[in-house]
Structure formats: C-alpha cells, structure tokens
Amino acid sequence: MNKAFTLFELIVVIIIMGMLGIISVEILQRVYKDYIVSRELSKLSIKTDNALNILAAKLRNRIKNSVIAVECNASNLNSASSDSCLYNGNKNFISISRIGVSNNSDKYPVLEWLYVSSYSKKGMWWDDKKGYVQPGWSGFVDLKETNISSGDEYNISTPDSNFTIVQYIDGNYSQSWGVRGFNNVFDSNITVLVFSGSDGRGDFKDMNSSYGYYDMNATRVFKIKKLSDTELNLKAFTESNSSTVYEGYYLVRGAMAVVPVYISKYNDYNLTLRFNYFPWNHQNYMDGNVSVLASHVTQFKFKEEKGVLRIYMCISSPNVKFNDYNLTICKEKVVF
C-alpha cells in the first residue's frame, strides 16, 4: 500500500513551516539589532573614553586658579553674533569654582585655562658628564637672592634650572605649530611666568585682573628676560604695585579652551580643543590652533569641587535610533 500526505497534512506542514520561518526571521532580526546596538555602544564607549582621557591629560597641566567658564550660546551658528561661541570679541566669564553654585552651567559652555610648559620642565640631556637629565626650570625661587624693584619688577634666582633649554624646547614646539610672531619665546611673550601662590594653585587676585583673559588686566602674569641659565628678570604685564614673591612658580606656555560647535544637521556638537594662543598678548581661543576632540556630543558639563575638576560628557550615535532618540552614552571623569 502506497503512503502519501493528505492535503490536510500538507497544509498543516506549510503552516508550521511558515510560523517557524516568521519566528526565525524575528529572532534573526532581534539578534542583528542587538548586535548593531552592542557594536555602537562599544564604539561610543571607546570614543567617549578617548575624548575624556585626552581632555584630562591636558587639564592635569592647568594652572588651577586660571580655569574659567565662558558665557556664550553654543547653538548660535552666526559667528558675527555677540553670544556665539565662535565670536571673536570680548566675552563674559567666571571662575570655574562658581559653576553649579550661583550660576547655571548651561550658560557657560566653554572651559578655558592656562597650561604649564611641561616639556621644558622635564628638560633634556644637556651635559653627558652629569649623567642625568637637566630640567629646564625647577619651579623654585631662592628668596634670599630675589631683588624687588618698583612697578612689579623682580630679579629672581631659581637653582637647578637652565633657561637656555626652556628657550630651545618651547621654541621648537612653537615653531612646529606655526605660532604667529614666533621669534624668541621670552622676547615674544609666548612663554611667561606665573607664581604658584600660597596654595600652589597659581597667584590670584581677581579673575578679571589676573591673567589677561579677553583684554582684561594681567597683573599676575610676568614677562621674562633671561639674565643667566638660573636667573630671570620679571615684569608684570599690568602693574599692580605688588611686592609679593612666592617660593614657587610655573612657566606657562599659553591657554587652552574646549569649545562646543553646534552642528544643525545632527542637532549636536563638535567638541573642539583650542590651543597655542596667549591672552596676555590680547589673543583669545579663535587665534590659536584647533582640533576636534569628539563629534556628536550632546552634553558637555563641568564643575570644580574642593579643587577637583569633574567633567561630564555625552556622545550619541547618528546610526542607531530608538523612537525619536539616538543611542547615547554618558561618562564622567575626575581630574585632580
């Protein structure tokens, strides 16, 4: 007797196979979607970590009392507008310590600071007979050998320094970046001096009259004239009739700023790093070099708590959306 499928059995088999096919497709679609989300999350995590780590490395060399937050409208693309972050005129700014206490952090989206000349401090092999690396600048002042004259002018002695090395290293660094007006880093006021202050955070009187931001006074920034490899003549950019000399100092190589640039197509920001500009020379962050720290940034916030800087950043993916929202990851970094 020949056995065969009846029409009913064939229909049942077709229905079952169709159901299995639908379920398999749904499972495959879900697995693929989960894979895409997992892959994008991994990319976003690495991207956010990289941006925060680069920024933290830059901020570790900051003069802590010089860190400011600058007022502007990050979503204003009109560079001729006075509230745009890309406007080249004077801006309102406050000390970073006031962010999150008496002011709205969204109003001040730009982070700006002076940074230490770290490469020249590390120095170089200057004399093979010594058998060790000669620091460019030691950061210490011999107060017994310090002479004070009128008009905020000092002659200081700083043992175990070699300012010829400082000029060589900072000069090559400036030249490699095409810094305008480069000649001698001391004569051009590219490398300047800031005293450490009583707490090591940088000499500070008033944010509006200390570091030269946005054509304000620079009473705590000193022009340098090399007298010898261990001696300097200093004169404040803006006279304040001060006679205070601290036992510590920093050589400063310019200012840096993190500036968000709004991208209307994606409704997010490119977070840009601005550097190699000199506020005491009447420059701002539009006068320096620029590089992109991260793209598709949706939030960038910062505040200082007891001398510790906290940075918060969110980055989204334009490739993955959930309903009306892009896939986004947020991370925070602490910088001492």
The three state secondary structure string of 102-160 is CECHHHCCEEEEEEECHHHHHCECCCCCCCCCECCCCCECCHHHCEEECCCEEEEECCC
Residue 80, Ramachandran bin (φ over 0: left; ψ between -120 and 50: alpha; else beta): alpha
Which of residues 100 and 69 earns the better pLDDT score? 69
Q: Is 211 helix (H, G, I), strand (E, B) or coil?
A: coil
- Residue 84 has a pLDDT of 78
Alpha helices in the chain (DSSP H): 7-59, 118-122, 163-176
Q: How far is Cα 48 from Cα 13, in angstroms, rounded to an integer?
A: 52
**The tokens of 95 are what?**
């000390």
Q: For a pLDDT cut of 90, what percent of the chain falls above it?
A: 51
Average pLDDT over residues 146-150: 75
- Residue 76 has a pLDDT of 72
Average pLDDT score over the chain: 86
- Residue 301 has a pLDDT of 92
**The tokens of 253 are what?**
């190589």
Q: Is the pTM of this model over 0.95?
A: no
The alpha carbons of the chain give a radius of gyration, in whole angstroms, of 28
Largest CA distance in the chain: 123
- Residue 258 has a pLDDT of 96
How long a stretch of residues is the chain? 336
**Residues 150, 156, 162, 167: what is their CA dihedral angle, to the nearest 10 degrees?**
-20
Q: How far is Cα 177 from Cα 253, in angstroms, rounded to an integer?
A: 13
Tell me which residue of 321, 325, 316, 327 sits closest to 47, measured CA to CA.
Answer: 316
Choice among 81-90, 132-141, 204-213 with the minimum mean pLDDT: 81-90
- Confidence class for position 12, pLDDT limits 50, 70, 90: confident
Choice among 17-26, 153-162, 291-300 with the minimum mean pLDDT: 17-26
Which of residues 32 and 116 earns the better pLDDT score? 116
Q: How far is Cα 330 from Cα 314, in angstroms, rounded to an integer?
A: 4
Q: How far is Cα 13 from Cα 11, in angstroms, rounded to an integer?
A: 5
Tell me which residue of 105, 106, 116, 104 sits closest to 66, measured CA to CA.
Answer: 116
Q: How far is CA 23 from CA 16, 36, 200, in A?
A: 11, 20, 66
